[in-house]
Amino acid sequence: MKIREYIIGIGILAILLALAVTGSALPSYSCTPSNCHGFDGNFFYNTHKFDGISAPTVSTSCAKCHIDPPDDMSLTSDGSVYNGTHRYNDTTLASERFTPPACGNCHVDVVNNTFTRLSGTPTYLTSTTCEACHKAKYDNWTNTLHRVMLTPRDKAKAMGLPKPEVGWANISYVIVTKFALSYINTPGYFPAQNDTYNTETKEFENGHAGAAYGTCGKCHTTNWNGTGAAITLPGITGNFSEPGIGCERCHGLAGNGHQVTVNYSATLCTNCHSGNKHGTRWENSTHAPPAARIGAECSLCHSLFDK
């Protein structure tokens, strides 16, 4: 046994001497998740997967947020800006939920340390993408009629809306309002008989009598295009990117650099809430102060997000 232990001891000594010759008994440092954030690197990947798949692996990228990688991985700031603008909620960062291109929706190439914001023609992302960073507002919006203004058939069925007389198989969308549910068939027309469900009487009645949906999508959808070559359905004279009034219907397209706007003016609301059928008539009522009649702010009474 002593001879065996002696041989093992010599072997260990030889290894240590070899390491001493190379300069260190420690492995060479590289900015990889296993070295910094545990054996599996899950924490690292969840908080750094800038393109939704991979994380930066070179120290120049790490230097954007850390003082002197790999020697000093202290953060260059307290992260308040990032935490305040890139969170899904209080416990989850947006990067944990983003799908490709993730941060590439707004920044040029963060994996290679280029955090410059994208510019150029804005692109459409859909409200689901907005949810990754604006969770609270997204949740409130989902409880509004704006979201379900034009509801696809499968979602309408899941909501438990009354079954139309023509059957669900013949329906493409349902217009959901406070007072009525108007059903649209698969060619894009309202059924000829009993196309509308009255939410007060709880009965079907004739509402549009076989008329085409036409250009109603300009107020019922997001990213409506009434002049494009592509037609969603024969009875719908236009196309759209998202049914219902999504985030980008009021804020503008968010892709290619997050070029969104905040607009609380009454003009935005009256783009749709006007005319004999859709007007509120509030601006000419006794409720409205004189100033309101020359530029009312609907948001004084109506939240843009809460129901």
- In a domain? residue 302: no
Q: How buried is residue 183: exposed, middle or buried, by Cβ count under 10 Å (0-12/13-18/19+)? A: buried
Q: How buried is residue 45: exposed, middle or buried, by Cβ count under 10 Å (0-12/13-18/19+)? A: middle
250, 224 contact by CB (below 8 A) = no
Q: What is the pLDDT of residue 41?
A: 64
Same domain, 159 and 233: yes
For residue 173, what are the β-bridge partners?
Answer: 152, 184
| Domain-terminating residue out of 245, 276, 302 | 245
- In a domain? residue 303: no
153, 171 contact by CB (below 8 A) = yes
Sign of CA dihedral 124, 127, 128, 133: positive
Same domain, 162 and 234: yes
Residues 182-219: tens digit of each pLDDT: 999 999 999 999 999 999 999 999 999 999 999 999 99
For residues 104-130, give the mean pLDDT: 86
HEC-encoded secondary structure of the chain: CHHHHHHHHHHHHHHHHHHHHHCCCCCCCCCCHHHHCCCCCHHHHHHHCCCCCCCCCCHHHHCCCEEECCCEEEECCCCHHHHHHCECCCCCEHHHCCCCCHHHHCEEEHHHCEEEECCCCCECCCHHHHHCCCHHHHHHHCCCCCCCCCEEHHHHHHCCCCCCCCCHHHEEEEEECCCEEEEEECCCECCCCCCEEECCCCEEECCCCCCECECCHHHHEECCECCCCCCCECCECCECCEECCCHHHHHCCCECCCCCCCCCCHHHHHCCCCHHHHCCCHHHCCCCCHHHHHCCCHHHCCCCCCC
Q: CA separation (Å) from 120 to 20, 126, 255?
A: 56, 18, 10
Give the number of other CB atoms < 10 A from CB of residue 221: 24
- In a domain? residue 235: yes
Note down the domain range covering 216. 151-245
Higher-pLDDT residue of 259, 55: 259
Question: Which of the given ranges, 14-23, 26-35, 110-119, has the highest pLDDT on average?
Answer: 110-119
Same domain, 56 and 98: yes
Q: Please, which residues have CB within 8 angstroms of residue 222's CB and are 6 or more apart in sequence?
A: 124, 127, 240, 241, 242, 243, 244, 245, 246, 247, 248, 249
- In a domain? residue 205: yes
Same domain, 227 and 166: yes
Poorest-pLDDT segment among 35-44, 127-136, 237-246: 35-44
Same domain, 232 and 155: yes
Same domain, 98 and 165: no
Poorest-pLDDT segment among 44-48, 129-133, 163-167, 302-306: 302-306
Same domain, 193 and 240: yes
- In a domain? residue 27: no
| Token representation of residue 265 | 């003016």
Is residue 223 over pLDDT 50? yes
What is the percent of the chain where pLDDT is above 90? 33
Sign of CA dihedral 121, 232, 145, 268: positive
- In a domain? residue 179: yes
Q: What is the pLDDT of residue 107?
A: 87
Q: What is the pLDDT of residue 189?
A: 97
Same domain, 107 and 159: no
| Domain-terminating residue out of 194, 215, 245 | 245
Same domain, 158 and 105: no
Residue at 93: amino acid letter: L
Confidence category of residue 105, pLDDT binned at 50, 70, 90:
confident
Same domain, 155 and 237: yes
- In a domain? residue 60: yes
Confidence category of residue 38, pLDDT binned at 50, 70, 90:
very low
Same domain, 164 and 82: no
Task: Tell me if the pTM is above 0.85.
Answer: no
Same domain, 99 and 167: no
Higher-pLDDT residue of 294, 97: 97
Mean pLDDT of the chain: 79
| Domain-terminating residue out of 62, 91, 117 | 117
- In a domain? residue 299: no
What is the percent of the chain where pLDDT is above 70? 73
Cα Dmax for the chain: 105
- Provide the number of structural domains found in the chain: 2
Residues 249-303: tens digit of each pLDDT: 989 999 888 888 887 777 788 788 876 666 666 666 666 655 545 545 676 676 6
Q: What is the pLDDT of residue 221?
A: 95
